[in-house]
Chain A
Amino acid sequence: MNQFTYPEKNEMERFIAARYRKAWAWELAFLSSLLIAIISLSALFLNVVDGAFGYVAFEYKKDPATLSAKPLAELNQEELLAILQANLSKGAYKKLDDKKPMTSRSADDLRNLAVERILQVKTRETYPLFRSLFQRAAIEAEVAQKFPNAKLEFRSWLTPAFISTPQSSKAEFAGARTAILGSLWIVGIAVLLALPIGVGAAVYLQEYSNKKSILNRIIQTNINNLAGVPSIVYGMLGLAIFVRAWEPFTSGAMFGVTDTNGRTLLAAGLTMGILVLPLMIINAQEAIKAVPDSIRQAAFGVGSTRWQMVWHHVLPAALPGILTGSILAMSRAIGETAPLIIVGASTFVTLDPSSPFTKFTALPIQIYQWTSRAQGEFHAIAAAGILVLSGLLLLLNATAITLRNRYQRRW
């Protein structure tokens, strides 16, 4: 009898059927994992969208019909100016005029002023998108009963104006511009710091150092670990060093700026730069590693120095990978919140940042602040802010993917 036997025919069929059942069970398990992931992401997205659009019940302190026969939206600049002059107190008008001459303001700007200062719109209740869509009658009944004077209007909180107007204490007029600019400043400073240092460190580690030495391995392990350190720890570091120890520098006192402390855009940007530095180094190392050794040998073979080889061949070939990595690091930085809270982001900033030495806010901070307010309309603009932030992230990641697909070289 042969000792290497396979099952007999009948037994084999049962055995194969059992194998298929097992395979099918595993396939189902993998599919359900995927479904769970997709459902959670959709739920997240729908929840945000749900908050960012929907019916709003609001009241005017003053009826718009008393101001002008025509709807406010159709009035031109002079008519709006006349209305403002007639309805605002002299002192209030002069104050506004001092800020920015009224005659130089745009019609839209004046219209907003009229709504904000004269009509004094007051949001009574906001309704989420899905209720607005499917339970309109119930909402109307509720509004008629609770707020008899209120008007009901469908409103998208995410508008072009939301992106382009600065922060305001009234949710109806608040925009994300200050926060978006703050975020861009922070990410810009972070990249300026982390990109050159990160690429430099990666070049040294990959091209110059002896990869087998113990010291090198310790450094490498530490860089990998640093990439996983909780971001709040970087916040503590930023607070201790950039905000406190380097205050003369980060507050701009060294450069003659007087009205700030160390809690500035510069301190936040530097903190963010340190936070993304390990990522930058690792990304750049990967990009440099992907350049084949044959290119290095070819360069050495014609009598090149190491630096000429790196500068003329390795870096150009690794550049697309380095850029892709930097953009991904930027998208990490733009979403980080904890370190900014520690470093001392201001939650209410209405002036656009004009230099690295201004106090700052950033998109995630702004969203956090809006969500923590009691009024429903702030929750709605928080949702709109989340959409803006997600859009920004999507844009960055799409750029990274496009860059990679277009310029990545296969050796």
Chain B
Amino acid sequence: MQLESPQYNAIETRDLSIFYGEFEAVKNVNLKIEKGKITAIIGPSGCGKSTLLRAFNRMNDFVPSCHVQGEILLHGVNLYSKDIDPVEVRRKIGMVFQRPNPFPKSIYENIAWGARINGYKGNLDELVEQSLRGAALWDEVKDKLKQSAYALSGGQQQRLCIARAIAVQPEIILMDEPASALDPIATLRIEELMQELKKNYTILIVTHNMQQAARVSDYTAMMMLYPETRSGTVIEFNDTKKIFTRPSDKRTEDYVTGRFG
């Protein structure tokens, strides 16, 4: 398959619905994610934000009852079409999880492993250094690359996970509440790092923290449940500034001003 030739839109969903068995968890999502920007997905708990995010790199494939209707297009290619290999999708679209989850191996191995299994042919040491620099972690760990990743602090571990994601050179990085397990200072460092990362990558972030969405993102998608069906959907998608200052939907306004949720 070919996932080449960048366009204006990094990735796009068309009438995307996600089901767990019979239950429609996410309904009819149409988003055009702009390249090189940070797009935040916000909304109350249980509205399908993580489910939607995980659809982008087909992580939902591991939930046996989960299936998808509609399309997710990367450079015009549907990621869910039969001839697409999910392994390749996940290399192109990396992911950073809610809790730092480094491999129980050395810092170096954490970065090098992804490259090695994907058949990377260049200089591994350089790739490790470049990835760690890219995640603003190099200066802190350059003298202890052989040490276990578990010796790092939570914030450092999360940046290591970001370095691990960028080492396989994805186009898009999905972040599922990447700072929810971190203290405010570590959170701030991750947010600063995201501003650096968006020069090279398109970032999609799910967050519960509305200040965080307002601080870091360029675009915001507001998700909400249909009360009748308990399915989540995107009710408003716009510039972050607009979402937080002049939302067009009353429910968005209530949510971002803290009146509920």
CB contacts (< 8 Å) of A355 on chain B: these are none
> A312 contacts which of B57, B87, B117, B118 (Cβ < 8 Å)?
B117
Query: B92-100, B204-212, B248-256: which lies at the A interface?
Result: B92-100
For B109, the closest partner residue in chain A by CB is A312
At the interface, yes or no: B155 with Cβ under 8 Å from chain A?
A: no
Is A304 in contact with B87, judged by CB distance below 8 angstroms?
Answer: yes
Number of interface residues of A (CB under 8 A): 20
CB contacts (< 8 Å) of A294 on chain B: these are 97, 99, 101
Question: Is there contact, CB below 8 Å, between A295 and B101?
Answer: yes
Residue of chain A at shortest CB distance from B95: A301
B210 to chain A, nearest CB (A): 26
Cβ of B161 under 8 Å from chain A: yes
Our pick among A295, A301, A305, A316 for the contact of B59 (Cβ within 8 Å) is A301
A-side interface mostly = helix
Kindly report which residue of chain B lies nearest to residue A317, judged by CB atoms.
B104
**How many Å lie between the Cα of A35 and that of B20 in the bound state?**
54
In the complex the two chains form, what is the Cα distance from A295 to B94 in whole Å? 15
Give the residues in chain A near B159, CB-CB below 8 Å: none
Residues 83-121 of B at the A interface (beta carbon under 8 Å)? 87-88, 90-92, 94-95, 97, 99, 101-104, 113-114, 117-118
Q: Is the CB of A312 within 8 A of B64?
A: no
| B35 CB within 8 Å of chain A | no
Kindly identify, within residues 311 to 326 of chain A, every residue whose CB is under 8 Å from any CB belonging to chain B: 312-313, 316-317
Residues of B within 8 A of A16 (CB): none
Q: Is the CB of A295 within 8 A of B104?
A: yes
Within 8 A of B (CB), among A290-333: 292, 294-295, 297-305, 308, 312-313, 316-317
Tell whether, in the assembled complex, residue A301 and residue B97 are in contact, meaning their CB atoms are under 8 Å apart: yes
Residue pair A297, B104 in contact (C-beta under 8 Å):
no
Those of B46-100 within 8 Å (CB) of chain A = 57, 59, 62, 64, 87-88, 90-92, 94-95, 97, 99
Contact at A297–B90, with CB atoms within 8 Å? no
Residues of A within 8 A of B103 (CB): 295, 298-299, 313
Residues of chain A within 8 A of B97, CB atoms compared: 294, 297-298, 301
Return chain A residues, CB-CB under 8 Å to B91. 302-303
State which of B62, B64, B94, B104 has its C-beta within 8 Å of the C-beta of A302: B94
By the criterion CB–CB under 8 Å, are A304 and B64 in contact? no
Task: Give bound CA distance, A231 to B103, whole Å.
Answer: 41
Known contacts A212-B64, A301-B90, A303-B87; A409/B168 CB under 8 A: no
Chain A nearest CB, measured from B140 CB (Å):
20
Are the C-beta atoms of B118 and A303 separated by less than 8 Å?
A: yes
Indicate the member of A298, A303, A316 with the most B CB atoms within 10 Å.
A303
Tell yes or no: B27 within 8 A of A by CB.
no
CB pair A303–B64 under 8 Å, yes or no, is: no
Q: Which residues of A contact B92 (CB under 8 A)?
A: 303
Asked if B165 lies at the interface with its beta carbon under 8 angstroms from chain A, I say yes
The reply to whether the CB of B164 lies closer than 8 angstroms to some CB of chain A is: yes
Interface string of B117-129 (1 = CB under 8 A from A): 1100000000000
Please name all residues of chain B whose beta carbon is closer than 8 Å to the beta carbon of A299 when the two chains form the complex. 103
Instruction: Given A300-B62, A312-B117, answer yes or no on A305-B87 (Cβ-Cβ < 8 Å).
Output: yes
CB of A150 to closest CB in B, whole Å: 67
The CA-CA distance from A294 to B176 in the complex, in Å, is: 13
In the complex, A210 has a CB within 8 A of chain B: yes
Q: Kindly identify which residue among A301, A317, A409 contacts B94, using a CB–CB cutoff of 8 Å.
A: A301
Are A303 and B117 CB-contacts (below 8 A) given A210-B64, A298-B161? yes
In the complex, the chain A residue whose C-beta lies closest to that of B92 is A303
Report Cα–Cα, A308/B119, bound state, in Å: 12
| Cβ distance B149 to chain A, nearest Cβ, rounded Å | 11
A298–B101 CB distance below 8 A: yes
Residues of chain A within 8 A (CB-CB) of B94 are: 301-302
Which residues 118-176 of B sit at the A interface, judged by CB distance below 8 A? 118, 161, 164-165, 167-168
In the bound complex, residues from chain B placing their C-beta under 8 Å from that of A300 are 59, 62, 90
Across-interface contacts of A298 in B (CB, < 8 A): 97, 101-103, 161, 164
Cα-based distance from A298 to B164 in the complex (angstroms): 9
* Chain B, Cβ-Cβ closest to A311: B117
Using Cβ atoms and an 8 Å threshold, which residues of chain B touch A301? 57, 59, 90, 94-95, 97, 165
Q: Is the CB of B104 within 8 A of A303?
A: no
Partner of A303, one of B62, B88, B99, B101: B88
- For residue B230, give the distance in angstroms from its CB to the closest CB of chain A: 22
Residue in chain B with minimal CB distance to A302: B114
Q: Interface centre among A210, A302, A308, A313, by most B CB within 10 Å?
A: A302
- The CA of A265 and the CA of B161, in the complex, are separated in Å by 52
- A292–B57 Cα distance when bound, in Å, is 21
Q: Would A303 and B168 count as touching, CB distance under 8 A?
A: yes
Using Cβ atoms and an 8 Å threshold, which residues of chain A touch B113?
302, 312
Residues of B within 8 A of A297 (CB): 59, 62, 95, 97, 101
Kindly list chain A residues whose C-beta atoms are within 8 Å of the C-beta of B118.
302-303
The 5 residue pairs across chains A and B that have the minimum distance between CB atoms: A303-B91, A302-B114, A294-B101, A301-B95, A298-B101
- A-B CB contact pairs (8 Å), 5 listed: A302-B117, A302-B164, A303-B88, A303-B118, A304-B114
Q: Which residues of A contact B (CB under 8 A)?
A: 210, 212, 292, 294-295, 297-305, 308, 312-313, 316-317, 409
User: Besides the contacts A210-B64, A297-B95, A303-B91, what 4 more A-B pairs have beta carbons closer than 8 Å?
Assistant: A300-B62, A301-B95, A303-B114, A304-B117
